[in-house]
Structure 1
Amino acid sequence: MSTLVTESPIPTKLTRPQSKQRLRVCHVSMTLRTGGLERLLVDFGRFHNRDQYELSFVSLGPVGQPAEDLQAAGFDVETLGMPKTSKGAALQKLKTLLRDGQFDVVHTHNTYPHFYATLAARWAGISTIINTQHGRGCGSGWKSHWQFRIANRLATRVVGVSADATKLCQSQNPASASRMQTIWNGIDLERFKFTGPRNEPTAISVARLSPEKDYATLLHAMQLVIQHEPRFRLLLVGDGSERARLEQLATELDIRQHIEFLGERKDVPDLLRKAGFFVSSSKTEGISLTLLEAMAVGLPIVTTRVGGNPEIVVEGETGKLAPAQKPEALAAAIREMLDEQPLWPTMADAARKRVEQHFNVRNMVSQYEDLYQTCVASK
């Protein structure tokens, strides 16, 4: 097993050619720290077909627990040390790493790694390059659009994690639209066993406490809900830059006693089982893993009608959708959910079945592996 490094030297094991009986795939991401994308990369390692594929992982920047998990499972993991390492030096080192590793496929994740790793892969003589966009499109700034279009001209296929994301990517780069497709994210159903909702007016939300999750809207909605149901409580799981501001807002709205700020936790499956339903107030989403995890446990969902959320939640069947950034509308959806408490078990069953049918991580990994085979064969 290689030693996880924190700077930019080229490792020896990662670049040593292995058996050509299996396709060698190198995943390249911005970081390997805690997050939904990084959890998916760990799942790629856990559930890939070991008889046909040999995986390695490269992070352009910082690493954390996901990198340690992958390394503990026997995978080679490398970080190029950006931003401390200059872009030019990182590009050169990545090219050397990909060339010496004799990779068949380079799989990049999101726009920044897509741009740099695609250039490095082409420079190294690798022709099969897959990119996955994990959010809504390639980003909002002109630089992201420029990088996306340049990289797409050299890449083999671009995958959106939702139909919404794919459609947006196609609009951002019409010239490459024909090489874009959708593969829904998935979760490990074995980790999230079905238990069903707890029969009490408690909701749970799991996410980074960051601006795009818009928890301020949820807190304002809670103030309105509590007037309708004084027993209503929220378990808020996660940490981030917005935590102090949200705690202050909860105090100002006089709802602090109704919220438990639980911070970042490793026992999310157990915490989900303590709630009656799941709630989210995000302004943007690709395919939310936390929604899928909650549905797998058997929680009805109240969330915003953004990104891939309507592809996950079936209105009236597995949950309720509300417009984003509208506290009154979100509060109305939460009140409806509370009033329909006798229907929660039925929603729970439907939620679990939907995840089993469409969002199983094993199926997701298998679809990517089929894509690898198709693209390599076409080259």
Structure 2
Amino acid sequence: MRIEMTTLAEQPVAGVHICFFTDSLEPSGLGVHLLNLMRWLNPARYEMSLVCPDTPGGRWLMERAACVGAVVHPLTVRDRRDQASIDRLYHILTSERVTIFHSQVGISWEGMLGLRIAHRAGVPVRVVTEHLPYLLTHPGQVAEHRETTRLAHRIITVSEGARRTFLERGYPAAQFICIHNGVELPPERPLGEAARVRQELGVRPGAPLLLTVARMTWQKGHSTLLAAAHKVVARYPQACLAWVGDGPERPQLEAGARALGLAGHIRFLGQRDDVPALLGAADLFVLPSRFEGHPLAVLEALASGLPVVGTRVCGLEEAVADGETGLLVAPDRPDELAAAILELAGNSELRRRMGQAGREQVAARFTARAMARATMQLYESLLCEALGRTDGE
């Protein structure tokens, strides 16, 4: 990379300019996290910009980021041979006098080139948020990640479980901090909306409606839910499973549903803008993931008063209190998953108690406001270190 070092760290800071960066081509949950954070940052203190790939998912994020006051830059910075993109990011960081570079990483091999450019541009504070546990296995990626992350002043993980996966591989504990994901507590839904939504989905009165909101990838475990569905339908012949989201596994899952005779029970809804209404209409939320960071879809379900059936994996264990706000089972165990679903589907009072406890848990621990407050505290602490200031100066 043909980049010369500048000395932004020596420049006086009145307002603080944060450049949020992602090279994730489909920043779905990551994008929701980022928007939740942006909405709660103090606008009198922070200016914001966003560098994001010009993909369908990236455009979705950039449109909404612009609405909360961010200057957006459609730019993909993933290939170290792409000198034009490297030079453009360097120009953005220096011309906008960026004070904090905050990289949002879906999987650990993402974001490394952006972090290197921010370091060479002399950005005073460099932060990375890792949204998933440590997943690297390729020796080259392992070595590059370890070398590049030394350039970050702090690495945020969205769960303590994810943080532990990095420390277990020898990363320095002092560099890592957990700041849990946060969501907004939804208002009361309009009277009659749940009945309308259920009618639109073709759900019979009294039949259980099980909602899943997730990209259709191997990670999210839809195939396990598909294998469990026949036991649910055997007990409740009118049961409906509503699946929101798209992804590479959707054609295979649709074919599997047809082959198992479940096509009339599983609704493949694709991307939806009315997820809050769907949450308000559902009886319970199901996410049988194989790994997670701290899933926003689960937090949103809990905030809506829905009990959750999930898996006992990193991140989900911190989001769902097993036996209190939902039920957790081992991943890839369709029989256990079906049993947990049936336990809740058949007990409306248990669902009500768990739903209330889940909403209270989110209000106490997992709000977007609390997440933003903790992030701003981290920013200010790192700025003091980088610029040689103290609170009294």
Q: TM-score when scaled to structure 1?
A: 0.89
Cα offsets for 1:168-217 (capped at 9, x unmatched): 12223x2433211100001122468699x996422110111112112111
User: Which residues in structure 2 correspond to 1:64-213 (within 5 Å)?
Assistant: 64-82=59-77, 86-110=81-105, 111-137=108-134, 139-172=136-169, 174-190=170-186, 200-213=207-220
Q: How does 1:176-255 map to 2 (within 5 A)?
A: 176-190=172-186, 200-255=207-262
Letter of the aligned partner of 2:151 in structure 1?
L
Matched residue SS, 2:144: helix
**Aligned length in residues:** 362
Flag the 1:115–1:51 CA change in 2: closer, same or farther, 3 A: same
Q: Percent identity?
A: 32
Give how far 1:87 is off: 3.7
Change (3 A) 1:193 1:37: farther
Q: Does 1:24 align with 2:17?
A: yes
Q: Distance in 2 between matches of 1:249 and 1:303?
A: 21
Look up the equivalent residue of 1:101 and give its one-letter code: E
Indicate how the Cα distance of structure 1 residues 265 and 371 shifts in structure 2: closer, same or farther if over 3 A, else same: same
Cα distance in 1 between the residues matched to 2:127 and 2:75: 20
- For residue 256 of structure 1, give the secondary structure of its aligned residue in structure 2: coil
C-alpha distance 132-96 of structure 1, shift in aligned 2 (>3 A): same
Q: Kindly state the Cα deviation for residue 232 of structure 1 after the two structures are TM-superposed.
A: 2.2
C-alpha distance in structure 2 between counterparts of 1:159 and 1:307, whole Å: 15
User: Amino acid of the residue matched to residue 134 of structure 1?
Assistant: H
RMSD: 2.5
Within 2, Cα distance between the matches of 1:116 and 1:279?
Answer: 36
Shift of 1:81: 3.5
Query: 2:60 matched to 1:53?
Result: no
What is aligned with 2:33?
A: 40
Structure 1 residue 56 displacement after superposition:
0.8
Distance 2:149 2:266 in 1: 45
Kept in 1: contact 2:189–2:277 (CA 8 A): no
Shift of 1:254: 1.2
What is the alpha-carbon distance in structure 2 between the residues aligned to residue 93 and residue 164 of structure 1?
Answer: 36
Matched, 1:377 2:384: yes
1:273 is paired with a residue of what secondary structure? Answer: helix
SS state at 1:220 partner: helix
CA distance in structure 2 between the aligned counterparts of 1:281 and 1:194, rounded to whole angstroms: 30
Counterpart CA distance in 1 for 2:251 and 2:67 is 34
Distance in 1 of aligned mates of 2:187 and 2:356:
17
SS at match of 2:133: coil
Q: 2:279 aligns with which of 267, 272, 285?
A: 272
